[in-house]
Structure 1
Amino acid sequence: MSGGFCSDEFAGVRQVFDEQLVSGAELGAALCVTVDGEPVLDLWGGHADPERATAWGADTLVNVFSVTKTMTALCALLLVEAGELEVDERVAHYWPEFAAAGKGGIEVRQLLAHTSGVSGWDRPIELTDIYDTESAAARLAAQAPWWEPGAASGYHALNYGHLIGELVRRITGRTLGRFFADELAGPLGADFHIGTGPEHADRIATLIPPEMPEFDLSTLDQDSVLVKTLTSPLLDIAETASAGWREAENGAVNGHGNARSVARVQSLIACGGELSGRRFLSPATIDLIFREQADGIDLALLTPLRFGIGYGLPRPQTFPHIPDGRVCWWAGYGGSMVVNDVDRRVTFAYTMNRMATGLIGSDRCDLYLKAVFDAVGQR
């Protein structure tokens, strides 16, 4: 059964969460919901390891994969708010080397919305090569786009943080992880890390890789955006337990946190840019998120996706449990997710260690989403 608390109106959500823990569908997980920036539900339970020797505690951390991208997007939006970054400006204005190989016209918004044409690295490249984020960003700057920038989205799976992080570094002189810690995690008291030091190792849950169907990637077009994005480099779940992976400041996929810290930071969006008496973002900056940049079959994931600037936007026909309206969201490989509902000032966050097979969302996450927004609708 779960630890933590929930208000009476969200008791049905706790029941669903407990059912998943008791049935064994979840190994270990955490769920948090905030309304007006304050937690109304903060639950955790299960185990942090496959041997079930360590209970999932209130401060257990886990790699949330692409939920990290929402933290990276927030860093960019902070620079927009400060007048130091313009989403309609060319990337090369801030990062001149990026203009190489026909990329001079690519705009910042296209990086943030996965439409830049630069969704991975030219081969050959190994996963460990991307730990040196400055060197890996330089490789991206030198290569040509894989499709016409702006024509479609192609999910920037592993390199989103290198691209946005290099802009942060060029503008501020700070690495992405340092900027995030200084400007967001620190001020908000959020236990979320982009670049996770060894002092946190004992709190990090072990990921259980998803059971994937047998599939021979060699049967696909090796020059397709899908194959190049997902194999250049290829993600190795076992490697994500290494110190090298954890300590790298990869703002696309290696953020470590829990549902509480994800909800804490992201509720900035749901609350219109102001949290705990401090204004981080203006309404005009929040509005940028909802400027649609792409809506259609994503070239890298072959899934219909709709992107604004920095976040996914609702697409009810594809993701029916994410509410429509001024809502922005994103999910991490294996099932973690965050949803910000600006209309109702609600943030939903879910983290877990038993990974589901889908690249976006999971059946378990759908159950929690439905229960949460059913309860929100009855308030």
Structure 2
Amino acid sequence: MDGRWDGLRAEVRATIDDLVASGREAGVQVAAYLDGAPIVEEQGGLADTTTGRPLTVDTPIHAVSTGKGLTSTVVHVLAEQGRLDPDLRIAEVWPEFARHGKDAITLRHALTHTAGLPALPADVTPEDFTDWDRMCALIADARPLWAPGERLAYHAWTFGWIVGEVVRRTTGRPISQVLAEKVAGPLGVAGELFLRVPEADLPRLARLEDAGLAALMTWAGANLPNFDAVAPAAVRPDATIGSRRDVLRADVPAVGTVTARAVARMYAALVGPVDGVRLISPARLSEVSAVAVRAEEWVFGQETAFGLGYAVDDDGSFGTAGSGGSLAFAYPQLGLAVAAVRNRLGAGDGDPMEQLRTLVRDRVAGEVRRWRTVETGAGRSYRG
């Protein structure tokens, strides 16, 4: 790795060590790419505190909604290949979806959480999640809560089946297989980037622990009027459902299982080439990372901005974050991708993964500005 980033790596490593030594974290991975090359790959702590198994750079961790970024990336790779169009009416490839007036809903609506289908039946179970056809039938028979595009509502679980079934109907293959063939395989991270975890890889996963997330889910169910509509009590996104072998083995593409280096590598390949692999063109990158919708979100009541499948932040980044703290984002203007993943799912703990993301972003931004100033003065710009 580039020696210019030795100081940043030492700072990240020290932060991880402090978090683990204090007992605040069990295991943490942090990775960052700049202009297609890795500049940070640090990890520390344990993958399993009950056995003492160490967390390594290639230990996958269930990262909850950080997986939505994988699902969205599959869509954009297929769009780049001319296989999908964000403005596709979903019913064109999934005729049953048109029931109850849903024929005007497009893939763009699904990607931007404006399809009007955020809710699940109150009695849905984790076992239902393992039955792809059943979940897609529930979605197809659902009545929209409002017209497409009328309101922003986080499709916490339904996002995965809506987008995933479009991919399956278009390609004839499950979205987890398309991810492996079109994204993970070409990037050399086939064993570290999953929507559906193969049976043989389950023992490699980090063991999830709860450190406040379950309590937050209970609070949300009691205090946010629309929360249980999108995440009924039996399927709240927490360490319990994220540890179920049957759910991990199923295609549930609203969530995912990753290593920090694999998901950072994926975002880096959205921004630019990584070892000769670029997932989408610069023009498509500009489209998918731009704000497509900004509004007060229906579940949490806060102003939120989405691009095409990714959250868009005011700092110029786009990406996804998962309940409990894991995250992965890219900064196109910096040429940076950064991911931070944990296996102790916290809430109300000061958001240490976000602090690590900010640490990397700020150090890289400062250095890039300095290099650009120096090289522009010499007649060159840093990014060329």
TM-score for both structures, normalised by structure 1: 0.88
Q: Give the counterpart of 2:347 among 348, 357, 368.
A: 357
**Counterpart position of 2:336:** 346
Distance 1:79 1:214, change over 3 A: closer
Measure how far apart 1:301 and its partner are. 2.7
The CA deviation at 1:213 is 5.6
Q: Report the equivalent of 1:264.
A: 265
1:372 aligns with 2:360: yes
Is contact 2:270–2:279 with CA below 8 Å preserved after alignment?
no
- Paired residues for 1:1-379 under 5 Å: 7-10=5-8, 11-51=10-50, 53-190=52-189, 191-211=192-212, 212=215, 224-231=225-232, 234-235=235-236, 237-253=239-255, 255-271=256-272, 274-315=273-314, 324-325=315-316, 327-357=317-347, 363-379=351-367
Q: Secondary structure of 1:46's partner?
A: strand
Residues 6 and 43, structure 1, Cα contact 8 Å, conserved in 2: no
CA contact (8 A) 1:32 1:349 kept: yes
Post-superposition offset of 1:179 = 0.6
Q: Deviations over 1:152-207 (max 9, x none)?
A: 22111112221111011111000001111111111111121111122112211111
- 1:114 deviates by 0.8
Query: Relative to 1, partners in 2 of residues 1:105 and 1:364: Cα closer, same or farther, differing over 3 Å?
Result: same
For structure 2, the residue ranges without an aligned partner over 5 or more in a row are: 368-384
Higher helix share: 2
Alpha-carbon distance, 1:22 to partner: 2.1
What whole-Å deviation, never above 9, does each CA across 1:2-22 have from its counterpart, x for those lacking one?
A: xxx993241333332222122
Number of aligned residue pairs: give it.
359
When residues 233 and 111 of structure 1 are mapped into structure 2, their CA distance, relative to the original with a 3 A threshold, is farther
Q: Give 1:83 deviation, angstroms.
A: 1.6
Letter of the 1:8 counterpart: D
Q: Which runs of 4+ in 1 moved over 4 A?
A: 213-221
Could you tell me which residue of structure 2 aligns to residue 321 of structure 1? none
Report SS of the residue matched to 2:108. helix
CA RMSD in angstroms, aligned pairs only: 2.2
Question: What is the distance in 2 between the residues matched to 1:207 and 1:346?
Answer: 28
Aligned partners of 2:331, 2:219: CA distance in 1, in Å? Answer: 39
For residues 141 and 346 of structure 1, what CA distance do their matches in structure 2 show? 39
Aligned to 1:318: none
Per-residue Cα deviation, 1:261-316 (whole angstroms, up to 9, x for no partner): 11111211222xx332234311222122134232122112333211111100114x
Aligned-partner residue type, residue 328 of structure 1: F
> What amino acid does structure 1 have at the position aligned with 2:154?
Y
Q: Given the superposition, is the C-alpha separation of residues 282 and 182 from structure 1 closer, same or farther in structure 2, using an over 3 Å criterion?
A: same
| CA distance in structure 2 between the partners assigned to 1:199 and 1:269 by the alignment | 29
Distance 1:377 1:94, change over 3 A: same
Matches of 2:30 and 2:94 in 1, distance apart? 39
Q: State how far apart, in whole Å, the 1-side matches of 2:211 and 2:157 are.
A: 18
- Partner Cα separation in structure 2 for residue 52 and residue 25 of structure 1: 18
**CA offset digits 1:8-42 (Å, max 9, x no partner):** 24133333222212222111110001111211110
C-alpha contact 1:48 1:60 (8 A) present in aligned 2: yes
Distance between the aligned counterparts of 1:233 and 1:356, measured in 2? 19
TM-score normalised by structure 2 residue count: 0.87
Could you tell me how far apart the structure 1 residues matched to 2:248 and 2:221 are?
30
Unaligned runs of 5+ residues in structure 1 are 316-323
CA distance in 2, matches of 1:118, 1:170: 19
Flag the 1:57–1:220 CA change in 2: closer, same or farther, 3 A: closer
C-alpha distance in structure 1 between counterparts of 2:169 and 2:265, whole Å: 27
Offset of residue 138 of structure 1:
1.9
In the aligned structure 1, how far is the partner of 2:73 from the partner of 2:220? 34
